[in-house]
Structure 1
């Protein structure tokens, strides 16, 4: 019987290097992360520093960046690694994405040479943790409304405000903070031991539990002029970082979908209902077939976007297409696979409900489905319907 990827001959579309990176990431994830993830999820925690250092040893952090200790892979290779990490859990891919495609990318794309040398090698190794502080309690889908503000006092900057839903916020060594200034929205590198900085872990989550989420506050946080990201001006800069992270989600969500489908297929083959395997019933096969088709289409879309990114021609609207489609379909696959597992599907003995719950968050963060629909709609009609 063909596997899901064999059904669509996915491997024939990959280079030898891409297959090697995907295989290495899959083996690492299965051996080092898989045995622990249900316990981490149930406990609502993640050993971020230990996992980050393991990611660093494998070259997963900022892997598509060049120099400064980064692996310098292609975008497609990075996407395939995201797929294998999220096949274990979305929280683990979030750690990888926030470190590499948000915090590290912000420094890489907009920082000074001194800032890059100071932070990127240690972050690539997982020895220093970064977070990305854009979202505020009252401004999620509309980051341009942010109230966090920075003003100049002599040669220093003084930062005040709050941020929310910040992955790794309580564990980070440096926060990439976006604030409104007299010169528009600017980015700052804030060491988290700076006086006036505070981080509080957000508990009581029902999704993405194997991930550390925090609220941040800044009370007259004084920063030297060297903390300013010199090449980041306006909202385009943080949105550019988000586009990098969304690209990883396009691939990663398909990893979660694959795990759900593989689990449901194996379960249906061994679970007997009315004296024959559950897999022998037409309704079960219809669910599996529909899910497999959407999975295959999603992976093909991800690979196409990866090739576009590697050629330098990928647009933000195309990333929105990938994020909207693949997360939405992955969530649908997870929900349908849960029904195949019946009551067993709601337990942590199987990964399906955990993935379904996580994907509810992935559907929302880094642009809700509604936001991406409006991005695509504006691209096709020329009309801005956000307001």
Structure 2
């Protein structure tokens, strides 16, 4: 195949694909002077709730704020232990830390999801919650995690920042506990042009508490009733997200088609472990936020792909959560330890052309030939 340039993510193209619509939307919002908590935010929250089949969506400043407020709304606080997977972004554990609780690290499975058996082994008398990360657009085994939570009287608080629209057993990621979180970082499946996030809940009380929490602790009447945060989703970003949400199903369908193409082109390469293919599991609907593989001689593969103008990354710099020694976290994650030497991500976003995907496949196959 003729040499191509396939960056890991094409940020300029994210705007260019619908630039006129985005500019028109920005112009209309700014002409109204509608910058903070205006109708665009309300409309986006309502439309996202409809998409999820949820009662409430609350727009917040970013995914980390969403995680922190979800924990607070679930009653997690000082001295509590919360079990999180080693294969997650540091924000998952940071949110636990920032509410005064203690993150306890369990192992992951070959599909990158939390290992329920490992999570169960880390439970102590102080454990109050399990916080599965619905990673790469895939959900954890929520039947197993739900059973563990029920047996031990634990709460489920989801880090579903990478899984907006993914589901397990017909339930959308974010709706297995009291509250779930989403991130709208630009490279997410639904991304804005800066930072943004949201919390989803079916609880009227939790929704009211989170709305108060995100706006300095102010109630609907403007009176401060608790110490809160400046954690609101900007109205301009909400307007952009609302525009994108209207075509979100198309973006998910395209990602799943790309994942199927990778699967067809790479499934017989013995040196690779691919993520589960679309529709390989009748319980799950994966949205493929990322296409994370495990590869023999990973660093050599990445070097060769870079030489052929194919961008790859190792998620979060190549460190699992338990490998941040300075954080002093209690952990048992032997599989994640080994996986850290093998895992990497191939380009995955809805703007990739079939020829781009085929070129990546060709270069990977050539490396191992």
- TM-score band w.r.t. shorter chain: under 0.3
**Under a length normalisation based on structure 2, what TM-score does the superposition of the two structures give?**
0.25
Which one has a larger percent helix, Structure 1 or Structure 2?
1
